[in-house]
Structure 1
Amino acid sequence: MNICVFLSAADLDERYTGPAREFAELIGKGGHTLVWGGSDRGLMGVVADGVEKAGGRLVGVSVGFLADSARATADEMVFARDLAERKALLLAKADAIVVMVGGAGTLDEATEILELKKHALHSKPVVLLNTAGFYDGLKQQLQRMDEDGFLPVPLLDLVFFAEDGVGALAYLEESLGVQ
């Protein structure tokens, strides 16, 4: 399974890096491929390290202005013209999407993926990995959008909220029928 992970390239503390390492190990040991923004920095680097160390493949999609942080040991590295093309390529290369902790860029990626799914422009399973309650506020907002009729598709058909990597991977494998 090709798992696209949207996440931060920032250096973060152990409450985020520890669970990221654990999830990365699950991806690699499961024989899955990490599809990610291609960076060797911050949380992106932590996840790439973990997947690679556990025997998984790495498929990076970066952009020219971030080429200096692209992971040299990726099994495949593609450079998009801009961030919009990068998101499209990441989605195209993925069987499933996991959104981990991140800043405005990660939030942009998450909302675009959900919007595309809402309009049936993809049907891939999407997980928000709610490490340390990071997405509690977003979960509450999405639930309100659902309850108040702003989502034409039930929230549970758009996204699954997982509290840990084990739950995230189990949901993806079940959704895609992976043994």
Structure 2
Amino acid sequence: MNITVFCSAYSLDDRYSAPAAEFARLLGEGGHTLVWGGSNAGLMGLLADGVKAAGGKLVGILVELLAHKAYQGADELVMTRDLAERKAELLARADAVVVLVGGLGTLDEVTEVLELKKHNLHGKPVVVLDTEGFYDGLRTQLRRMDEEGFLPRPLAELITFADTPAEVFTHLAAAS
């Protein structure tokens, strides 16, 4: 399975990096391909290192302005002109999308993927690894949107939240 992962390009403390490393190990051991932002920085680099060490494949989708942070050793590295093209390529290559902890870029990516899914422009599973309750606020906001009629489809059809890396793969297996 090609699993597109959105996550931080910043180095984070162990409470966030350890679950990401465990997720990477499970992804690689499962024989999956990581499709990610192509960076060697922060959580992105940790993720790529872990997947590669566990025997998985790496497909990096990097934007030109970040070419200096390209991960060396990816099985494939695609360069895009801008962030919009990068997001489209990340989704196009995905069989599933997983969201780890991240900042504004990660939030932008996941909301775009959900908006596209809401309009039936893709049917790929979207799973958020909610490490340390990092996405509690997002979960609350999405529930409110669902409960108050802002979503044309039930929230459960758009996104799933997982508390552990193993649970992410349980959700992905159930969605296949």
Query: TM-score scaled to structure 1, two decimals?
Result: 0.97
Tell me which amino acid in the other structure corresponds to 2:100: M
CA distance in 2, matches of 1:53, 1:174: 26
Q: Describe the superposition over 1:14-68 as per-residue Cα deviations: whole angstroms up to 9, x where unpaired.
A: 0000000000000000000000000011000111011000000000000111011
Instruction: Give the C-alpha shift of residue 128 in structure 1.
Output: 1.1
State the partner residue of 2:153.
Answer: 153
CA distance in 2, matches of 1:92, 1:133: 29
Tell me which amino acid in the other structure corresponds to 2:13: D
How do 1:2-151 residues align onto structure 2 when only pairs under 5 Å count? 2-151=2-151
The share of aligned pairs that are identical, in percent, is 64
Q: Describe the superposition over 1:87-126 as per-residue Cα deviations: whole angstroms up to 9, x where unpaired.
A: 0000001100001100000000010000000000000000
Tell me which amino acid in the other structure corresponds to 1:166: A
Instruction: Give the C-alpha shift of residue 72 in structure 1.
Output: 1.2
User: RMSD over aligned Cα, in angstroms?
Assistant: 0.5
Unaligned stretches of 5+ in structure 2?
Answer: none
Tell me which amino acid in the other structure corresponds to 2:3: I
CA distance in 2, matches of 1:20, 1:128: 12
CA distance in 1, matches of 2:104, 2:115: 16
SS of residue matched to 1:170: helix
CA distance in 2, matches of 1:92, 1:59: 12
SS of residue matched to 1:137: helix
Q: Describe the superposition over 1:125-167 as per-residue Cα deviations: whole angstroms up to 9, x where unpaired.
A: 0001101100001000000000000001100000000011101
SS of residue matched to 2:161: strand
